[in-house]
Chain A
Amino acid sequence: MLRLTLAQMRRSIGRLVAAGVAIVIGTAFVTATLIAGDVMTRTTNDSIAAQFASADLVVSAPADLTADDVDALRSVPGVDAVDAVQFTYLDLSHGSKRVFQLGVPAPSDPRFQALEVVEGSMPTATGQVALPEAVAERLGVGIGDAVTSSRNVWDGSAPDGGAYEEVRDELSVVGTTADPYGAYAQMGGAVVVTAEDVAAWEAAQSMPDEPARTYSAAMVGLAPGTDLETVRAALVAASPDEAKAVTPDEHAQEQARKMTGDQDVFTYVILGFAAVALLVAALVITNTFQVLVAQRTRTLALLRAVGANRSQLARSVLTEATILGVVSSVGGILLGALLTQVALLVARGADLGVPIPATIAVTPVVVLVPLLVGTVVTVVASFAPARAATRVAPLEALRPADAPSLARGGGRARLVVASLLTVAGLAVLGGGIWLGTTGNPEIGLLAGVAGGALSFVGVLVGAVFWLPGVVSLVGRLLAGTGSTARLATANTLRNPRRTTATSTALLIGVTLVAMMSTGAASARTSLDTALDEQYPVDVLVATDLYGSSGEAVPGEAVRAVSGSEGVARVVELVAAEATLPDGTQLTVHGVDPEQAREVVRTPESLAPLAEGTLMLSEQEAESWGIADGERLELTGPDGATLDVVARTGAVGWSWLLATDDARALDPGAVTSRLWVGLDESADPTQAVPAIQDAIVDVDVPVEVAGAAVERALMESVIDTILGVIVGLLAVAVVIALIGVANTLSLSVIERRRESATLRAIGLSRAQLRWMLAIEGMLIAGVGAVLGIALGVLYGWAGAATALSIMGDVSLAVPWRDVALVLVVALVAGLVASVVPGRTAARTSPVAALAVD
């Protein structure tokens, strides 16, 4: 029987290869995910280990080490050097540029030095600093320049028992560093200062009754020729209870294990996408095997007639699936390993600042899991076809081979199950949305996901009942374009089950892509609204933020900002002192109403601003007890009074007047703020630093608040996440498209004589190819359109459930993505028909005359 199975496989090799590709891609996905997860863990390990440089041992204790504990380590025989692991944070500035950076003490021993000096040297005296190259560049300083360090110092002599006070030190840059092993890559690099400075700053910062500083670990260097194990034991003995002395690698692994919970979740999420891809692959496999069994009906019947029993036939199909599964999975594992290896090489070449291993690690898990999963999926997918094989009656060997007749749709049980799943799923989904919008987003989301998944399974199971109807509807619309389209539609409908399975495979991927895309679009729109309220202008340049000087922004600074790259318009705000009727003094800003409306994100919010009005936000109005439309009398510093009508709806926290009103109230009002609008096309992450650079030379301290940067950052986070998710789901779509090509080529084989007949009665080669192209596009297009519709609905449901915490949810349709998905599906359907179309067109009309 095995010989027979192998012989049959050889005959169907083309079909099997096409089906195998689906499994290859699926298992490659799983393999790549597992390897990538492993690489990430190793990268984290290496980066933690890199912090200990070439230390021989790392001592740590659950309750951390005190300074005394560290000192005790120094006196252990055989120990050459000991440094406590210590971090501090530095607030460094140079002109208007400012960075907030991790700082580490200069190591006492070169063995503990994780960073490399690029230029100059490590700090040796107090007041010296070595900066990472990138930080030096950002601050615009070189060796010999000074940077300002701001820190808070506890002043015990201050009234009320003490207070924090800001202290500024000038630090001299003595060197620049590189981080070749990525020790601090995840923290954006580390500034090096002397250990004395770190200790002094720490002491100055702590309150008198604060407990003494402790250290998470200490690095130990051994004297040459000392036995590691002897010292290890001695170190543990000299340390507090439960202390451990381990090598840096062991320590890193332990730390990484604590940290990588998140990474595991990440790996599981990606494996979830791999599962979708494998599900789609399973559909493609089932389809292929069904056709193989149908094609072999006569052979199977003959086998039955000469004495094979049912289970032998089923076993033959399952054996075939197992062989296909194993071979394809091995191929997939090799492909996945190759792809990740190539990705590693590319990532290393791209210099991401994180040291990346040169080669992937092939562990048993990486090989066995995909092998098992791929094989099991293939075998399970062949169960239904195997059962079909057992139903072949011996009698069929004697019948003439007819053209495949019209297959029927699904049975009643399927209809009931599908309807129940869909209805129940939708009900749960509806409940989830309701919970989400009524303030229980977590439970709502859980219910929504469960309900959505349930109803989607229902929709898929029931697809055979309604999908052919949709195909027929679309086909009827196409029929007007000619007989070729009518033939294609009729062909697509002749085997509703196969068409449904093929189309469904695509529908799964497209639905998920459309859902993610819609969810992201809705999140973006909702987020934009929230951001518009929070950040009314792209960039704020001010001298009076957070209680600063309030000096006038010099004209040269205004000109510099206006001329800065990416700046579209600049509006000046004057600051006026005003006293409310109840005696409260505050600063109000005057702005030209027309110009203001041009620069803010939501001009409608400033609609009432005009001479004689005072605008303030609703929250402000509420907290000050001012009603919308209330008349107020403001008094200026010189006693001038101004009658205004208070209107709510202003953007941000400022109280706004028209410029002329502000000047009338306070003749001494000067420009203290600039509202800057950026070009639509400008990249805020470049435009905002450009503005900072433009005003570096201004003497007055000016703050630049780049709301646009935050906005761009948030949008890019959403876009990146969406891009990654869509990329992962695209794998499922690719597999489904292979399925479309598969189905078409199977149809071509089955309909060989029919194609020849059509050619004989006057169908041209071009028409025959076009007919298959329409079939391909019809199957792919219907799958895509339905997938998009479902995806948009699910996406909306998800957005409504999850985003309602953020306020009003705007449901958006990502038209561009939707159009892209549709075009890709149609083009792929067209491309999928090319090879089958060529095969069909090669069929000679003589074949129509053949009897068998």
Chain B
Amino acid sequence: MDTTVYRPTDPAPAGPPAVRARSLRKTYGKGEAAVHALDGVDVDFERGHFTAIMGPSGSGKSTLMHLLAGLDTATSGHAFIGDTEVTGLNDNALTQLRRDRVGFVFQSFNLLPMFTAEQNITLPVELAGGKVDRAWLDTLVRTLGLEARLAHRPSELSGGQQQRVAIARALIAGPEVVFADEPTGNLDSRSGAEVLSFLRRSVRELGRTIIMVTHDPTAAAYADRVVLIADGRIAGDITDPTPESVLAGLDALRTLEAPGADVPQAVRA
């Protein structure tokens, strides 16, 4: 079932989708014991949009992101970033792809402790042997409010500041898409909200494409669109989400998937 819905009110999605999955499958184990982490996923992610992938634990949302970003290999099916098929690239080509066209934001920030904020931000460009675009760096730093923090090391920054540095690092090379994995998972709600609004600003003001994996309905509500996933399949799609609509979507998902048995769980949640 293809649940992808295009919003008629979209600010003109330019060209093909930024990221696509076609019949994407990931199976662990064999025969009887086989577990289908992803069971044939077809989904498109639009350019210039902030999309959240949501689902309960073990639903396959993280696996989907790993496959889309070329961090893990698919059992079958295809994943594309732009026109490039990610599935089937060798390690060097994948490294090249991550350098030039993909950015990552991690739950634990993953900054290098021995480098300053600025050195952390510019690292991807330097690894690629390129030259840092100062104007773009200034724009990022201003947008993310890091002007006064550039010379600090990660240990001297708050969690929210660290994650903002991580966002700047993900954007510095001007990637086609940024994958964010539970970016607010290690932050208090205030810092989390701050980071999420920065992510949204990156999309709105800087024209970036962001795909965020989260299990937090409030976080998902910052996105332009929420893709719901359950049991390795796309289970729903919410445009212009609010925390309430996301929660409702999740609840619907639970009752739909396991009527009766799961209702008390939903109540507990």
Contacts and interface: CB of A to CB of B under 8 A. Distances in A.
B108 interface: yes
Given A406-B155, A851-B185, A762 B99 contact: yes
Contacts of B114: 406, 490-491, 493-494
Nearest to B172: A761
12 contacts: A403-B113, A406-B113, A482-B126, A487-B112, A490-B112, A490-B115, A761-B124, A762-B173, A763-B127, A765-B95, A844-B71, A845-B98
B113 A761 contact: no
A493 B186 CA distance: 28
B198 interface: no
Contact of A846 (B66, B112, B153): B66
What 3 A-B pairs have minimum CB-CB distances, sorted nearest first?
A762-B99, A483-B126, A757-B110
A760 interface: yes
Given A482-B129, A483-B126, A763 B186 contact: no
A400 B186 contact: yes
A230 interface: no
Given A406-B113, A490-B112, A762-B99, A846 B72 contact: yes
Contacts of B170: 761
Interface of B: 62, 66, 71-72, 91-92, 95-96, 98-100, 103-104, 106-108, 110, 112-115, 123-124, 126-129, 153, 155, 169-170, 173, 181, 185-186
Contacts of A845: 71, 98
Given A757-B110, A761-B98, A846-B72, 10 more contacts: A494-B114, A757-B106, A757-B112, A759-B98, A761-B103, A761-B123, A762-B124, A763-B95, A765-B95, A849-B106
Contact of B169 (A403, A761, A848): A761
A760 B112 contact: no
Contacts of A762: 95-96, 98-100, 124, 127-128, 173
Contacts of A216: none
B8 to A, nearest CB: 35
B104 A760 contact: yes
Contacts of B92: 764-765
A483 B106 CA distance: 22
Nearest to A493: B114
A35 to B, nearest CB: 48
Nearest to A767: B127
Of A491, A762, A845, chain B has the most CB atoms within 10 Å of the CB of A762
Interface string A744-786: 0000000001100111111111010000000000000000000
A761 B108 contact: no
Find the residue from A753, A767, A849 having the highest chain B CB count within 10 A: A849
Interface in A827-852: 844-846, 848-849, 851
A185 to B, nearest CB: 63
B55 to A, nearest CB: 16
B59 to A, nearest CB: 16
A491 B114 CA distance: 7
A845 B173 CA distance: 18
A851 B107 contact: yes
A490 to B, nearest CB: 4
A758 B127 CA distance: 9
A852 to B, nearest CB: 9
A405 interface: yes
A308 B173 CA distance: 50
Contact of B123 (A483, A493, A753, A848): A483
A764 B91 CA distance: 8
Nearest to B110: A757
B99 A848 contact: no
Contacts of A403: 113
A240 B123 CA distance: 94
A765 B98 contact: no
A179 B108 CA distance: 79
Contacts of B108: 400, 753, 851
Given A406-B155, A490-B112, A848-B106, A761 B71 contact: no
A128 B237 CA distance: 117
Given A406-B155, A767-B127, A849-B62, A761 B104 contact: yes
A457 B123 CA distance: 40
Interface residues of A, number: 32
Contacts of B169: 761
A757 B120 CA distance: 11
A45 to B, nearest CB: 62
B215 to A, nearest CB: 13
Contacts of A754: 110, 112
A753 B106 CA distance: 11
Contacts of A848: 104, 106, 110
B95 A759 contact: yes
Interface string A482-519: 11101100110110000000000000000000000000
A491 B99 CA distance: 21
Contacts of A846: 66, 71-72
Nearest to A486: B126
B106 A405 contact: no
Contacts of A757: 104, 106, 110, 112
B81 to A, nearest CB: 14
B158 to A, nearest CB: 14
B155 A761 contact: no
Given A405-B155, A406-B155, A760-B71, A765 B91 contact: yes
A484 to B, nearest CB: 8
Nearest to A846: B71
B152 to A, nearest CB: 13
Nearest to B104: A760
Given A761-B98, A848-B106, A405 B113 contact: yes
Contacts of B98: 759-762, 845
A37 B72 CA distance: 61
Contacts of A760: 71, 98, 104, 106
B100 to A, nearest CB: 8
Contacts of A844: 71-72
A765 B98 CA distance: 13
Contacts of A490: 112, 114-115
Contacts of B99: 761-762
A761 B124 CA distance: 6
Nearest to B128: A762
Contacts of B186: 400, 851
A493 B128 CA distance: 23
A483 B71 contact: no
A846 B71 CA distance: 6
A531 to B, nearest CB: 56
A760 B97 CA distance: 10
A340 B180 CA distance: 62
Interface in A367-417: 400, 403-406
A848 B107 CA distance: 9
Nearest to B169: A761
A493 B114 CA distance: 8
B201 to A, nearest CB: 22
A339 B114 CA distance: 46
A236 B101 CA distance: 102
A181 B264 CA distance: 96
A501 B129 CA distance: 33
A460 to B, nearest CB: 25
Contacts of B115: 490
Nearest to A764: B95
Contacts of B71: 760, 844-846, 849
Contacts of B127: 483-484, 758, 761-763, 767
Contacts of A758: 112, 127
Nearest to B65: A849
A484 B126 CA distance: 9
A764 B128 CA distance: 9
A585 B178 CA distance: 106
A163 B155 CA distance: 96
A341 to B, nearest CB: 48
Contacts of B96: 762
**Which of A405, A487, A757, A761: most chain B Cβ within 10 A?**
A761
